Amino acid sequence: MSNLESIKPFPDSEEMEISFGPQHPATHGVLRVLLRLDGERIVDAKPVIGYLHRGTEKIFERETYNGTIPHTDRLDYTAAATNNQALVGAVEKIMGVTVPPRAAAIRVMLAELQRIASHTIWLGTHALDIGAQSPFFYTFEEREKILDLFEEYCGARLTLNSMRVGGQPYELTDGWVDRCRAFVDQFPARVAEWERLLTANRIWKLRTIGVGVISAASAIEWGLTGPPLRGSGVKWDVRKVFPYDRYDEYDFEIPVGANGDTYDRYLVRMEEMRQSVRILQQCLAKLPDGPVMAKVPKVIKPPKGEVYFSVEGPKGELGFYVVSDGGANPYRLHVRPACFINLQALPEMVRGLLVADLIAVIGTLDIVLGEIDR
């Protein structure tokens, strides 16, 4: 303390260190950010993570390949379907399995519904953090409808465990397609409703425009993926770059922002929900017939080798790196977590901003600590 006082340039001002979180509702879980503040202004921020570490990658090593799928549900627990998709895709790649077209279409539908569900949580909580209470209630109403569709398909609402190596475990239930279509048809009107609440809202714009700016070059340098990257104007999406599960057969756009601020990331995610609806409509219109499971051995024993496979999750590129020694358990199964990498850019994005803006930036990064800490 005495040392600090001796170097103080302005005797009547002082820097303060505070711990923001880990138990704070605006950190979306157990994130702790050590802040160095000059008054209300952030001099530096240091995220401290690991409070939710469960050793998932260690647990993977004792499971069979299909046995790891329930563990992936618990990584990003707001987007279980895309986590499942990344894992089974990685194992199918190392096994050389081709998924039947109907299974691929079901996967795409689950993944796009999951993307919408994840973005509705993001919108509700992000707006709530910034002070707009009402969108939260409307977005969760829509999310509830998606969870009902999931429940009907696989019996679970959050931790879906909805895919298997080689295809899908279940056929769609009777009437699922109609109920999904009913949801999809009414959803764009809901997005428009939320946009009417926020997009031109003066307070919303004041709180988000120019906040948490990251340039395109900087975003690539920090390895950002997903909406944080696209908000900075980089047109990059795994679904387009490395199409999996026949994404190349669907017609959809990749929305990009221009300024790399919180407002642009908001616009990108809103547009992504509309594009997901477009993909869902195409799936429902031309859902192929046929089996939902490929011919795969009962015990999955991939050959010796290593493979990385990634999908475009709602938060960014979610990848799995599988190393097999030829046995029935993965020798090493590493997750490339999108949120973990995106969170790393937080100090860069908040330096010089106010504490209240930190809340907006944490919200706009759309982090889930289950995936960060694993």
CB of 233 to other proteins, least distance (A): 13
CB of 190 to other proteins, least distance (A): 32
Integer Cα distance of 355 and 334 in angstroms: 34
Closer of 204 and 247 to other proteins (Cβ):
247
Q: Answer positive or negative: Cα dihedral of 275, 278, 284, 288.
A: negative
Strands 305-312 and 41-48 come out as unpaired
Closer of 70 and 223 to other proteins (Cβ):
223
Integer Cα distance of 98 and 48 in angstroms: 41
Closer of 270 and 349 to other proteins (Cβ):
349
38 strand-pairing partners = 15, 41
Q: Cβ distance 277 to 187 under 8 Å?
A: yes
Closer of 303 and 327 to other proteins (Cβ):
303
CB of 62 to other proteins, least distance (A): 6
**Cβ count within 10 A of residue 181:** 14
CB of 104 to other proteins, least distance (A): 6
CA distances 129 to 124, 262, 268, 351, Å, are 9, 13, 19, 19
Residues of this chain that interact with other proteins (CB under 8 A) are: 49-50, 53, 55, 57-59, 61-62, 89, 92-102, 104, 166-167, 220-223, 236, 241-246, 248-249, 288-291, 294-297, 302-310, 317, 319, 321, 323, 331-332, 334, 336, 340-341, 344, 373-374
- Spatial CA neighbour of 334 closest among 87, 96, 165: 87
Closer of 254 and 307 to other proteins (Cβ):
307
CB of 87 to other proteins, least distance (A): 15
Q: Cβ distance 339 to 328 under 8 Å?
A: no
Angle value at C-alpha 110, between 320 and 369, nearest 5 degrees: 50
Closer of 8 and 58 to other proteins (Cβ):
58
CB of 181 to other proteins, least distance (A): 22
Closer of 56 and 120 to other proteins (Cβ):
56
CB of 66 to other proteins, least distance (A): 15
Cis peptide before 303 (omega within 30 of 0): no
Count how many Cα atoms sit within 13 Å of the Cα of residue 278 in the half-sphere of its side chain: 12
Q: 């993977």: which residue's tokens?
A: 60
